[in-house]
Structure 1
């Protein structure tokens, strides 16, 4: 069979392809910049914030591989392969954004965070594979660069909107137990913007049919046969090691009196071990692998370059999640001297966090379009990512020496450069190496290494801070800086020429 090439897309085509990510990132930015603020306003303590944030990464861990697997196998006529998931996720996320600021109690807010993050993941995960589906290899870097620019632009809008509303006269204070109008209206706007932008991508793009995709990639081996062989070749006892590791974590929680949220980590390790044991047993008995078997088999069969990049992702996203959880308490306590969520100074500090988050996302959007193409052409994608991660580490470390909150804008420049490379470089390196028929599930599995570090931070960081730095959240930024440096060193092990 003659292998055909996809038609090249111009800037309008690249715009339409990723514009939906603009709205999705508005939703993520509102969540990241304001959920700690909402939880504290509804009465939670600083020590309990990591536990409440567990919902977000846990949802991504469960949702992304499943949605990737399903979207690889979906074809709904004119609606296509990935777009049904964009649309369904956008509708549910918009509903969650509309309801979140009206949450009457802390439990309702936590449940809505779970719903919001699940819906955002349903929309987001297929967008990564969508670029690979629609573009030829020589346009992958451009496609992910445009996608990163929309992520940055959407995050700027979502992060800064409460601050803008305050300066337009909308109230930024509220009685104890209530959410300020500036935050409420920002969430309402975010729900509408998310839905509108995803509808734009759904309406202006047409996916390639299964027959067309076959002409682009040639004949490929049946998926069931590959999964069965991978699973049947695995040691049946491998799952037992994961179960033992999970059990050990649970025992350590009891022995060392760790935070109870760490039990979740042990449960996840044991659950993966059980799922692996079941999948291997089914394969050795000659039974069809099913979705569980496919996901477990694909996880064990990741290409080598994906495994090396997974370690980089692990450290990178650990640092990011530390920032998202702790920037509000760090800035309000250490730069505005306002630990009380009911005070006007706390709300001013929280709005300044919105400005800081908008800054790093704006820098990321500019970096993705201007700096990254320049650097990657001259020093390669791997070294470009190393440079970005090092800039981010410097940005985090500067929180410990800066005293004027205005100078934190300079810190966010380094963090923004890191954010742009984290969002673009690993995916640009991977896109040309993954098999087309499994692009969705592999992108979902790759995002496991985005989610697992967030779970570790949410479950373990609270224990560390309580034990060694009680009431001093500023030290979380030192952890974030060190973790990004580890990511940079891990990136030096990646060999771009093997892709």
Structure 2
């Protein structure tokens, strides 16, 4: 029986059931948004040089490269009667990530902060990776795009709140936004503390309010597990890149250029905005911290737009198809990133982030919707983990070359990292048209 026929026999879930199974992503994105909007700021404060920022950020993608396929592989082969298949990984990751979020803003030195990024990102990945397979496990094909759209909605909401927290704590609640040399401001510290609580609470909501379907043959699963040692599992996890379905190969190129652009944005938006728009290089100054807080607002805007666009994109796909819609969304993101180069008024940066938000919503949903219909149901977690290579590899490439490019070709002017990101997103959009979406006619009914 093929994957499509198996998926079509699963019962349709009600709105609140899809809501509950996706709610944990609110917490996961809380953690990622705090990381994306504030880690460069923490590194800057602890004395990082601009050209070293990408290398320091390498911890995140390298961790994902190792963790995600392994977690996907073993979550496919896990079944605990009271906990299910994916939920044990949700829970363990939530506990570890919460601890890391509490420790990160208290790092006393640059290298400890880099190490904590490694631990924090790995913990978040333990929870996050099985969530992608969770949609494939629980929903029939005709509801999968809705499931990924619901995840994108919660990603957007969680990221909005997390991204604006330092600004809100500073301007509304009176927390200090400045600190002595080499120390992290209270506004950032308390944002991470709140994020830790939110991460744990949201993920555990999904854990306790969702029931998973058992494997078709539990005895076969037990036998397979007994015959495979841990090293066999690790080896199989990494050779999966050579066994990808054709649709997955095509989407891999799209993902590469999309995530290269996103990583450029996450690393360099803070220095680009504080230098190019606010005109300061002094990380201890009030003006720098004001600009860094405004980057949080910018990130909140693009994530808020993504939360709304997540439900609009499936409707557009009825008319343009999923790959056509994805191309248009990525073009919007490219326009948003490149436009930052021409902005002098911080308020106008919010408009730039609208385009980025549309692209972000599509990146989080449409590639996964196209992919899930091309994967065998018993290896959903495994292939979703392998697919994440093409989120991680471009981040490693970006970390390896962006610092060099900026230093030797653009005199360390970090605004050009965002321009390069915009060009990369245009390439991703064009490559979207190359993808063969087997289920497009059926899925266009959602």
Superposition TM-score, scaled by structure 2 size: 0.93
Give yes or no for contact 2:373–2:438 (8 Å, CA) kept in 1. Answer: no
Spell out the pairing of 1:333-352 with structure 2 (5 A cutoff): 333-352=275-294
Instruction: Indicate yes or no: 2:170 matched with 1:166.
Output: yes
Distance 1:112 1:374 in 2: 41
Q: Pick from 427, 432, 439 the counterpart of residue 486 of structure 1.
A: 427
Q: Which residue of 2 is the match for residue 9 of structure 1?
A: 13
Q: For the structure 1 residues 223 and 439, does the alpha-carbon distance in structure 2 shift closer, same or farther, using more than 3 Å as the test?
A: farther
Q: How many pairs align?
A: 432
Structure 2 residue aligned with 1:419: 360
Q: Does 1:62 align with 2:66?
A: yes
Partners of 2:274 and 2:240 in 1: CA distance: 44
Q: 2:236 aligns with which of 294, 312, 315?
A: 294
Larger radius of gyration: 1
Relative contact order, higher structure (CA 8 A, sep 6+): 2
> Which of 138, 141, 149 is equivalent to 2:142?
138
**Is the 8 Å Cα contact of residues 277 and 343 (structure 2) preserved in structure 1?**
no
For 1:80-479, what aligned pairs fall within 5 Å after superposition?
A: 80-167=84-171, 168-211=173-216, 290-369=232-311, 371-479=312-420
| Alpha-carbon distance in structure 2 between the residues aligned to 1:191 and 1:361 | 19
Secondary structure, in 3 states, of the residue corresponding to 1:458? helix
Whole-angstrom distance in 2 between the partners of 1:335 and 1:130: 42
Q: What residue is the counterpart of 2:436 in the other structure?
A: 495
Structure 1 residues 306, 335: closer, same or farther in 2, change over 3 A? same
Question: What is the CA–CA distance in structure 1 between the aligned matches of 2:102 and 2:56, rounded to whole Å?
Answer: 20
* Residues in 2 aligned to 1:395 and 1:223: alpha-carbon distance in whole angstroms: 49
Cα-to-partner distance string for 1:91-132 (whole Å, 9 max, x where unaligned): 000000001111111121111110000000010000000011
Distance 2:319 2:401 in 1: 40
Contact 1:306 1:430 in 2 (8 A): yes
**Any stretches of 5+ residues in structure 1 without a counterpart?**
229-286
- Give me the whole-angstrom Cα distance separating, in 2, the residues matched to 1:297 and 1:187: 37
Cα drift, residue 397 of structure 1: 1.1
The structure 2 residue matched to 1:26, chosen from 30, 40, 49, is 30
- Separation in 2, partners of 1:468, 1:156: 34
RMSD: 2.1
What TM-score do the two structures reach when normalised by structure 1?
0.84
Q: CA deviation at 1:460?
A: 1.0
**1:291–1:343 Cα change, 3 Å:** same
The 1-side partners of 2:238 and 2:62 are apart by: 18
Selected match of 2:51 from 36, 44, 47? 47
Closer, same or farther in 2 for the Cα pair 1:288/1:475, shift >3 Å?
Answer: closer
Whole-Å separation in 2 of the counterparts to 1:93 and 1:184: 15
CA distance in 1, matches of 2:264, 2:130: 26
Is the Cα contact below 8 Å between 1:96 and 1:112 reproduced in 2? yes
Asked if 2 retains the 8 angstrom alpha-carbon contact of 1:43 and 1:177, the reply is: yes
CA gap of 1:288–1:36, structure 2 versus 1, over 3 A, is closer
* Contact in 1 for aligned 2:76/2:381 (Cα 8 Å): yes
Q: Distance in 2 between matches of 1:428 and 1:194?
A: 25
- CA displacement 1:169-209 (0-9 Å, x = unmatched): 11111111101100000000000000000110000001111
